A and B are shown apart, each in its own frame.
Chain A
Amino acid sequence: MQTRQSKKLKTCKEAILVTLIVTAGVVIFALIVSNYQVSRARAAVLAQTGCQPPTWCVVSSPNPDLVYNELDGIAVIGYNDAWAVGVDGFPNRYNRRAITEHWDGGSWTVISPTQKGDGSNNLAAVTAVSSNSVWAVGSYYTATYPNNYFQYPLIQHYSNGSWQDISGTISPDAMCGGSALAAVAALSDNDVWAIGAYNVGDTGMCFPPPNPPATNVKVNHPYAQHCSLQPVVTCTLTLPPYAGVGYNAVNGIAAISTTNVWAVGSYSSDGIPRSVGAPRPLILHYTGVWTTTTSPSLTVDSVLNAVDYYNANDIWAVGTQLVSGSQQTLVEHYDGSIWKVANNIPNPGANNILRSVFMTNERDIWAVGQYDTNSSTNSLILHWHGFSNNDINGDKWDVITGTNPSTYNNQFMGVAAVPGNSTPITHTWAVGSYNSGGNTLVENIAAPPAPISTTSYYETSVDPNAHYQQGCAAAQRGENGVVVLDYGKPKDWGASSSHSRYGTLLVGTGATAYITSSSFSGNEIQYSVERFADGYANCYGKTQTSTITIAIGINNHNEDGLASLTSAHAAAWATMTNQIANHVVSYSMISGMAAAIDAEPDFADQSSTDYDFSKVLTWTNAFSGQSFESYYDFGSTDGYPCPRPEPPLPPRLGCSNWSASQFYTLTWGIPAARPIPEIYKPLYASEWYQLKHWALDNHLDLPRFYGEMTECQSSSCTPPNDYSAEQGWQTLWMKLNGDPNMVQSLIWSTDVVCSNGSPRQGCKP
């Protein structure tokens, strides 16, 4: 007689069989019906697979004119908000149009301003104060007395969905025959600088009077407009000094503060009035008044086209210079005291020109332009991977591969990412033209969507029920990757018959947590971690495919000297981890079990001569050769921009207490090590990037990061001081994959929270 249970099983088997047959039929049917669409989709994917980091990829952009389109400047506000400006139409004074294109996160669309005057308009540069306040500058022509087309400065402002001409009537050369704005920078809507040059004209009757006085000359003079949007648009004309007696041009501007603005360009240096010959770099500095700053001595035919900054003591300008008859890239750096010319900047071909430069909040530097080969002009992208003001020369610059859509005449005119610290950088953009100016060219390097992050925990108790719920929640969220359970400060309480000798003080609560004890079935780390694993396994869906690695961690909090970072503690921890690995061996959805440490030099006992490095090393060394997976380092570098000089030299105040080689040892040097560094803000990504660079330069292996950790949900989670998991992941991805030597995938992303739900940094109840 069949039991009720066996009947049910038979019915169940039959149902599964029927389901499989039906599903197979449906799948075959679907494949046939959708064959055409699948083919199309595959084609689109193939088009993208040819463009992998660090190569920049073409992003489709509109071409408003049938014949001639170019983009000359770009400003980025966010991952779904950017503006590019330029001009279309055949180059002349009569019928060119200023164009602006907007990126909304999915595509570029034309949202151009109304053209001004009855002649050509163009926009050369753009900057953004916010999504609702974008400034673009250039020039326009109008047919007025004396019956010729004269050029005037053009200022357009975007707000509330449209562009408004706010040029007003300001022009330094209303009677003289030409002025144009070439660059713009904004500190706020009430502190905007637009700069360019005006032509002092043929008649000598110009306003304001040229300096030096011009008599029947026609020569460019620098001029700037300092604008304020509120309460009404007001622009004040200022005149930077005139250099030499010939032609002056101003091409780029960077505003660091109200009284610290830099502008670059060129001036004729041959001493011949009205001459355009022998251009040399022109550097202007505004500190309340404009002055000319001495540029390093260069051969003639040197021009600066753009300038950008990281801070007041780290400013970069780029352009081109003639060296031994060859046009080469020009990079200059200001360190707070003097400008220096960088040596041996890469020149991939002939006629190398850099036209734009951008510095990110992670201190990446991107410079773009063009170079020639025998048969074509190619877009040029340079990336800087230095870190200090001493790293300005060519060995710190890499040539990045761009996509040249045309077999001839591709060029970049502008490069930008999100400025400042308020928004993580997910895209870096370059704009220009290809096909001899026939088409707009837009390329970028963009971080892909971050993987779904796991939730890691600062465990504030060893409540097995709470652990079970954590594991269950992880399964229900479909979490995939590494989950770190941080149990705090390692402790050794000495021998005891009632409890384990080893354990931890838990983060936030200071509660004691014992590693394991045969006499305890609860109130201990091992049992709680096992309950976490049970929770994940029991709540795991039948169709689920995710897997997690559980990393059981401590930190090296030893500022008060009372932590127990000992080999015995590590051995006990390894034993515990092995036992937990045995417990979960039947759980296929748990792919690994590992130890973990939040290793941070700032946590060190200050009375320790090596700042606890050897203690941390002792603890971590215990995990090489274990049968379980390894150990994860989810620490920070705490000042890596200036790591400790290699011991026995002492560290410096304000710098990291561990040296580069010590960091390397903990991060990659120990075979078991797997880094998932904390990326709480842009600087962290930059520091880990630098460490990886050090590792590449000093070791033959290929160090990589497995993922990253954020602490968003245990803090206010507001950039730039606290990234979300996705922001941290994308920031590290961009930092690594923008560099051709550092390209790697990032597998995991995890965000650590306080298990007691405390929103405080520190998990205090």
Chain B
Amino acid sequence: MKPIQTPSQMHSVFVVLVVAALLVVAIACETPDQQPASNFAANVAQSPTVLLTYAATAQVAATVNAAATFGAYKATTIADEDNRLNSLRTQAAQTQTQLALTPSNTPGPPTATFTPSPPTDTPGPPAPTPTLILGMVECVPSTSGFPYVEYSCWRGLVNGQIVDVSSGRERIDFANEDPYQGVVFVWSADGSYQTYRTPTKVGGVKISSASGTQITLINWGVGTTSATFVFDLATRQFETQSGTPIPTTPVVP
């Protein structure tokens, strides 16, 4: 038998011996390294079920398919949601947002009306049906890699479809950064979005009101000059104050 001559031979012997020793230990001890899955499952099962609910006004939809997602839904209890709903209703009322969005060229669902109720600090009784918030809504936080900042967020109906709209500006230090450039982005149900740049660069923009399929944006933020834009959600075009479309193309990612 040849003696061990190289480090690699020595390492091989070392590995074989250690593996053999560990096998002896493993067989002798038979102790699992991890918590059994069944125990864990039992622990988890003690947690209350997360109730996925959507808040919707009855006139919009009595029920919403739980499989559908629109980017701003929440997992919580119904009672909890009511508190937040009331708070948001107050905000929505303050914006005087008009929520009579019907498609401009096709018959649509009944006009959605919105009646704010005062906020309350105590949870109310469980809502009989899920409700969907329309109007100005709280913006859902994004990741820090998201290339835009969102100053305002809005949800409404366009051509019978629920549409989420955000407005803001391009972020500083990003690929196509231009913090002077205001943007509107329209979210799709699958979580994707299309971005539309304001016709002129006046800084960020904030949604001030909505009427029909049109949303009105005002500039908002550092160093901006006064400006107002109108964006038509049906045509996805900016318009002049007189209603003339301004050629608008979505930003290519």
Residues on A facing B (Cβ under 8 Å): 8, 11-12, 14-16, 18-19, 22-23, 26-27, 29-30, 33-34, 37, 458, 461-465, 468, 472, 488-489, 493-499, 505-512, 520-523, 527, 531, 534, 538-539, 541-542, 555, 557, 559-560, 562, 598, 600, 602-603, 606, 635-639, 650-657, 678, 680-681, 683-684, 687, 711, 714-715, 721-722, 752, 754, 758, 760-765
Contact of A602 among B22, B171, B175 (CB under 8 A): B171
Residue of B whose beta carbon sits closest to that of A458: B143
Q: Which residue of B lies closest to A634 (CB)?
A: B144
Task: Specify which chain B residues have a CB less than 8 angstroms from the CB of A760 in the assembled complex.
Answer: 191-192
Besides A523-B48, A538-B40, A761-B147, 14 more A-B contacts (Cβ < 8 Å) are A11-B28, A19-B24, A461-B75, A508-B141, A510-B141, A521-B46, A521-B47, A541-B33, A559-B149, A562-B138, A603-B149, A639-B179, A683-B173, A721-B175
Given contacts A463-B50, A511-B74, A602-B149, contact A758 B80 (CB under 8 A): no
B14 to chain A, nearest CB (A): 5
Asked if B30 and A8 sit within 8 Å, CB to CB, the answer is: yes
Partner of B80, one of A29, A463, A498, A562: A498
Number of B interface residues in the complex (CB < 8 A): 78
Chain A residue, CB-CB nearest to B10: A33
User: By the criterion CB–CB under 8 Å, are B21 and A18 in contact?
Assistant: yes
Q: In the complex, which residues of chain B have a beta carbon less than 8 angstroms from the beta carbon of A683? A: 173
Q: Which residues of A contact B30 (CB under 8 A)?
A: 8
Closest 7 CB pairs of A and B: A522-B47, A764-B191, A653-B223, A510-B140, A19-B21, A15-B28, A557-B141
In the complex, which residue of chain B has the Cβ closest to the Cβ of A534? B35
Least Cβ–Cβ distance between A363 and chain B, in angstroms: 14
Which residues in A have their C-beta under 8 angstroms from that of B58?
none
Given contacts A468-B44, A638-B172, contact A489 B222 (CB under 8 A): no
State the CA gap A494–B150 with chains docked (Å).
25
Interface centre among B28, B141, B153, B171, by most chain A C-beta atoms within 10 angstroms, is: B141
List, in ascending order, chain A residues with CB within 8 A of B7's CB.
33-34, 37
B142 near A761: Cβ-Cβ < 8 Å? yes
Q: Is B4 an interface residue (CB 8 A)?
A: yes
Q: Is B69 an interface residue (CB 8 A)?
A: yes
Q: Is the CB of A23 within 8 A of B28?
A: no
In angstroms, Cα B123 to Cα A506, docked, is 21
B29 lies within 8 A of A711 (CB): no
Which of B35, B74, B143 interacts with A509 by CB under 8 Å?
Answer: B74
Contact A8 B29 (CB under 8 A): yes
Binding site for A on B (CB under 8 A): 4, 7, 10-11, 13-14, 17-18, 21-22, 24-25, 27-31, 33-35, 40, 44, 46-48, 50, 69, 71-77, 79-81, 83-84, 87, 91, 121-123, 138-147, 149-153, 168, 171-175, 179-180, 187, 191-193, 203-204, 220-224
Q: With A15-B28, A18-B24 in contact, is A539–B142 under 8 Å at CB?
A: no
Q: Given A26-B18, A521-B46, A559-B151, are A761 and B180 neighbors across the interface (CB < 8 Å)?
A: no
B119: nearest residue on chain A (CB-CB)?
Answer: A494
Partner among B81, B83, B151 whose Cβ is within 8 Å of the Cβ of A494:
B83
**Chain A neighbourhood of B11, CB < 8 A:** 30
CB <8 Å contact, A512 and B22: no
In the bound assembly, the distance between CA atoms of A680 and B22 in angstroms comes to 43
Q: Is B145 within 8 A of A714, CB to CB?
A: yes
- Knowing A557-B139, A652-B223, say if A539 contacts B18 (CB, 8 Å): no
30 contacts between A and B (CB under 8 A): A8-B28, A11-B28, A15-B28, A23-B18, A26-B17, A33-B4, A37-B7, A462-B50, A496-B121, A508-B141, A508-B142, A509-B71, A509-B72, A510-B141, A512-B80, A512-B84, A521-B47, A527-B47, A541-B33, A562-B91, A606-B221, A650-B223, A653-B221, A656-B172, A657-B222, A678-B144, A680-B145, A715-B145, A721-B174, A721-B175
Q: How far is the CA of A510 from the CA of B93 in the complex (A)?
A: 21
CA distance A494 to B152 in the complex (A): 23
Q: In the bound complex, what is the Cα–Cα distance between A180 and B9 (angstroms)? A: 57
Contact B122 A496 (CB under 8 A): yes
- A598 and B222 alpha carbons, distance in the complex (Å): 21
Contact present for B122 and A493 (CB under 8 Å): no
A276 to chain B, nearest CB (A): 49
Task: Tell which of A557, A652, A678 touches B142, judged by Cβ atoms closer than 8 Å.
Answer: A557
Q: What residues of chain A lie closer than 8 Å to B121, measured between beta carbons?
A: 494-496
* Closest B residue by C-beta to A656: B172
Smallest Cβ distance from B200 to chain A, in angstroms? Answer: 14
Contacts of B153 in A (CB 8 A): 560
Indicate if the CB atoms of B48 and A606 lie closer than 8 Å: no
Assess the A653–B222 pair: CB atoms within 8 A: yes
Most chain B CB inside 10 Å of its own CB: which residue of A462, A527, A562, A722: A562
- Structural contact, B146 and A762, CB atoms closer than 8 A: yes
B67 CB, min distance to chain A CBs, angstroms = 11
B residues within 8 A CB of A637?
Answer: 173
Contact between B140 and A508 (Cβ–Cβ < 8 Å)? yes
Task: Quote the shortest CB–CB distance from A463 to chain B (angstroms).
Answer: 7
Give the CA-CA distance A687 to B138 in the complex, in Å: 31
In the complex, A715 Cα to B171 Cα: how many Å? 16
Contact status A30-B14, CB under 8 Å: yes
**Given that A498-B77, A498-B80, A721-B175 are known contacts, is A652 also in contact with B24, CB under 8 Å in the complex?**
no
Q: Knowing A8-B28, A468-B40, A687-B173, say if A765 contacts B47 (CB, 8 Å).
A: no
Residues of B within 8 A of A638 (CB): 171-173
Q: How far is the CA of A639 from the CA of B69 in the complex (A)?
A: 34
Set A463, A465, A639: member contacting B172, Cβ < 8 A: A639
CB neighbours (8 Å) of A687 from chain B are 173
Chain B residue with the shortest CB-CB distance to A683: B173
CA distance A651 to B21 in the complex (A): 67
For residue B204, which residues in chain A have a CB less than 8 angstroms away from its CB? 606
* CB neighbours of B187 from chain A (8 A): 764
> How far does the alpha carbon of A678 sit from the alpha carbon of B79 in the complex, in Å?
38
Contact partners of A653 in chain B: CB under 8 A: 179-180, 203, 221-224
| Most interface-central of A33, A499, A521, A657 (chain B CB within 10 A) | A33
Residues of B close to A16: CB separation below 8 A = 25
| Residues in B neighbouring A560, C-beta threshold 8 A | 138-139, 150-153
Determine if A758 and B179 form an interchain contact, defined as CB atoms under 8 angstroms apart. Answer: no
Are A711 and B73 in contact (CB-based, < 8 A)? Answer: no
- Residues in B with CB closer than 8 Å to A472 are 34
Q: Which residues of B contact A656 (CB under 8 A)?
A: 172
For B76, give its contact among A15, A18, A512 (CB under 8 Å): A512
A258 to B207, CA, bound (A): 43
Contact B180 A600 (CB under 8 A): no
- In the complex, how many angstroms separate the beta carbon of A106 from the nearest chain B beta carbon? 20
For A655, what are the chain B residues with a Cβ–Cβ distance below 8 Å? 172
| Cβ distance B7 to chain A, nearest Cβ, rounded Å | 5
Once bound together, how far apart are the Cα atoms of A684 and B174, in whole Å?
10
- Whole-angstrom CA separation of A754 from B143 in the bound complex: 9
Set of chain A residues within 8 Å of B220, measured between Cβ atoms: 606
A616 and B78 CA atoms in complex are apart in Å by 31
* Residue pair B33, A542 in contact (C-beta under 8 Å): yes
In the assembled complex, the CB of B181 is this many whole angstroms from the nearest CB of chain A, namely 11
Q: Given known contacts A468-B40, A522-B47, A760-B192, is B141 in contact with A15 (CB within 8 Å)? A: no
A654 to B174, CA, bound (A): 12
Which of B18, B47, B143 is the one whose CB lies under 8 Å from A763? B143
> Which residue of the partner chain, among A499, A635, A639, contacts B173 with CB atoms under 8 Å?
A639
**A653-B180, A680-B145, A765-B69 known; A22 vs B123 contact (CB < 8 Å):** no
Q: How far is the CA of A489 from the CA of B221 in the complex (A)?
A: 20
B10 touching A510 by the CB < 8 A rule? no
Q: Do A498 and B79 touch across chains, with their CB atoms under 8 A apart?
A: yes
How far in angstroms is the closest Cβ of chain A from B33?
6
Could you tell me the distance between the alpha carbons of A534 and B30 in the complex, rounded to whole angstroms? 22
Q: Are B191 and A497 in contact (CB under 8 A)?
A: no
Q: Find A684's partner among B21, B76, B173, B192 (CB 8 Å cutoff).
A: B173
Contact present for A510 and B48 (CB under 8 Å): no
Considering residues B91, B150, B151, B222, which has the most beta carbons from chain A within 10 angstroms of its beta carbon?
B222
Which residues of the partner chain A approach B147 to less than 8 Å between Cβ atoms? 761
B156 to chain A, nearest CB (A): 17
